[in-house]
């Protein structure tokens, strides 16, 4: 199930991180995020050490800081939410530059920013060093339900198709002199979104009917020696050394987390 091209989040390379089996990296990132979330928010130094650990991984994977920082912009909505928390939360108040801020809100904002940024950074590093097809291999190897793996593969296959459809609709609007300049144009954008939904739904039905007509089934049973479902993804294995290398990140983070709870 080749994608035909690499996703723009992926950065081609030949580093030791790139060479790790995908399911080991998925397990390592998941464990790292769980450890980060479990860390008490008061242990501010611990989050600094987590950032250092991720920086070491980025250096080993040869992922430039600029590449990583640009893709961290995806968390801007969460940053905006965190900035509002000190102004709306209740509890003890503290004055800063003449403005009353909630102490609980400040701690909550720090908690969201620190843990959210580290989680997003770990996910970006995973996507930067693992191709989308390999991620599906890893999910399958980790025994994720096959139906979910198939849904994820469809999303990857047809996400770019929907994006291209949006681009064509935008070009069509602009070629007719349309420019979204204010609230009065929201109606046109809403109709475009509705049209895109209908087109996507209809295309999905056509693709499903074409697959069913060719013997597709969401199960993995074989009929006459041939698979009747999606083609089975190649198996991928990992050695003990590769598992140890991948789990070095969450294990180091776990030590930091335990110190954060005890100190």
Find the mean pLDDT for residues 200-216. 83
Paired tokens of 76: 């801007």
Judge if pTM exceeds 0.75: yes
- Higher pLDDT among residues 234 and 258, named by residue: 258
More confident of the two residues 114 and 214: 114
Query: What's the pLDDT score for residue 249?
Result: 95
Across the range 87-93, mean pLDDT stands at 78
The pLDDT of residue 39 is: 95
- Rounded mean pLDDT, 181-189: 80
Contact 146, 79 (CB under 8 A): no
Does the pLDDT at position 230 exceed 60?
no
Exposure b/e, 213-237, CB count within 10 A at least 16 = b: eeebeeeeeeeeeeeebbeebeeee
The full 3-state SS of the chain, as one line of letters, equals CCCCCCCCCCCCCCCHHHHCCHHHHHHHHHHHHHHHHHCCCCCHHHHHHHHHHHHHHHHHHCCCHHHHHHHHHHHHHHHHHHHHHHHHCCCCEEEECCEEEEHHHHHHHHHHHHHHHHHHHHHHHHHHHCCHHHHHHHHHHCCCCHHHHHHHHHHHHHHHHHHHHHHHHHHHHHHCCCCCCCHHHHHHHHHHHHHHHHHHHHHHHHHHHHHHHCCCCCCCCEECCEECCCCCCCCCCCCHHHHHHHCHHHHHHHHHHHHHHHC
Return the pLDDT at 29.
96
CB atoms closer than 10 angstroms to residue 43: 18
* Higher pLDDT among residues 159 and 123, named by residue: 123
The residue with tokens 């950032």 is 51
Which two three-digit tokens encode residue 36? Answer: 């980060």
Residues 46-60, mean pLDDT to the nearest whole number: 96
Task: Over range 199-228, report the average pLDDT.
Answer: 70
CA distance 121 to 47: 13
Confidence of residue 62 (pLDDT cuts 50, 70, 90): very high
Lookup result for tokens 């793996």:
149
- 234 pLDDT band (50/70/90 cuts)? low
How much is the pLDDT for 219? 58
Average pLDDT over residues 140-161: 81
């Amino acid at each position: 199930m080749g994608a035909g091209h690499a996703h723009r989040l992926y950065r081609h390379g030949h580093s030791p991180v790139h060479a790790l089996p995908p399911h080991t990296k998925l397990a390592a990132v998941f464990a790292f995020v769980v450890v980060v979330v479990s860390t008490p928010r008061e242990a501010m130094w611990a989050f600094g050490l987590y950032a250092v650990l991720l920086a070491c991984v980025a250096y080993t994977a040869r992922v430039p800081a600029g590449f990583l920082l640009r893709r961290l912009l995806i968390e801007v909505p969460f940053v905006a939410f965190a900035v509002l928390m000190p102004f709306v939360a209740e509890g003890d108040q503290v004055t800063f530059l003449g403005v009353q801020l909630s102490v609980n809100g400040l701690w909550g904002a720090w908690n969201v920013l620190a843990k959210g940024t580290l989680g997003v950074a770990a996910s970006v590093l995973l996507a930067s060093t693992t191709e989308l097809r390999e991620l599906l291999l890893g999910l399958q190897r980790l025994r994720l339900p096959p139906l979910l793996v198939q849904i994820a593969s469809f999303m990857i296959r047809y996400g770019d198709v929907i994006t291209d459809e949006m681009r064509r609709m935008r070009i069509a609007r602009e070629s007719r002199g349309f420019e979204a300049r204010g609230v009065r144009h929201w109606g046109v954008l809403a109709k475009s979104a509705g049209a895109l939904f209908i087109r996507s739904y209809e295309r999905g039905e056509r693709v499903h009917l074409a697959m069913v007509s060719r013997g597709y089934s969401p199960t993995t049973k074989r009929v006459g020696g041939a698979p009747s479902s999606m083609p089975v993804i190649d198996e991928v294995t990992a050695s003990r050394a590769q598992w140890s290398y991948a789990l070095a990140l969450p294990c180091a983070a776990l030590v930091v987390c335990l110190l954060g709870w005890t100190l």
